[in-house]
Chains A and B, each alone.
Chain A
């Protein structure tokens, strides 16, 4: 089966840095994505890594190490609006449909 492990919850203060780790064991691997979901809202795409290394998009960065089956999402200069759940997801196939397998999600709580 497929498994993606990420911490269930992280708490930090405004302005801090949070790192959300994701380790995966999947039958195939073609990329690691991250999605953000606010309470009551739809998940929205944040980032995608297909190759090893760091991808930066504003205050958010995502890292991938394929050899370690590991990635992380880095949230910098935390703001209250970053309080949300964050999901890692693996693309396990190049076949039609391009389905994703999601982790259980990490709830990030930002305190003043």
Chain B
């Protein structure tokens, strides 16, 4: 079974802190993604990576950065946490079927971050 592991289930941080969210996948997937999930807004893509050291902005990258130094690990960084970044953060990974093939994303259980 594919496993995507997020390092923390719950985090509480203070405004202005630097926050690291870690994600590890064990299926040798090329693609990794970070989403935030807020009620009624679905899953919104923050950043994604299709290869080691490669990253691309998603729909809401402001206030976030990412790091992918190894294929299995994708980190989300909040440089200076703010209260509007309180949310559920989901990491996902997928293989890279070219063309029109289906692209199953496998998700971690999520990290609920509260910024006070």
Contacts and interface: CB of A to CB of B under 8 A. Distances in A.
A99 B40 contact: no
A106 to B, nearest CB: 10
B108 to A, nearest CB: 6
A45 B95 CA distance: 14
B109 A48 contact: no
Contacts of B109: 41-42
A contact face: mostly helix, strand, loop, or mixed = loop
Given A42-B107, A103-B42, A104-B40, A98 B100 contact: no
Contacts of B40: 8, 104-105
Interface string A80-94: 000000010101001
A100 B42 contact: no
Contacts of B70: none
Contacts of A89: 43
B99 A94 contact: yes
A72 interface: no
A98 B108 contact: no
B107 A44 contact: yes
A42 B6 CA distance: 11
B48 A102 contact: no
Given A87-B42, A102-B43, A104-B40, A42 B110 contact: yes
Given A4-B42, A96-B50, 7 more contacts: A31-B103, A33-B103, A42-B109, A45-B105, A94-B99, A97-B48, A104-B41
19 contacts: A4-B42, A33-B103, A42-B4, A42-B108, A43-B92, A43-B105, A43-B107, A44-B107, A45-B105, A87-B42, A91-B100, A91-B102, A94-B100, A96-B51, A99-B58, A101-B59, A102-B44, A104-B40, A105-B40
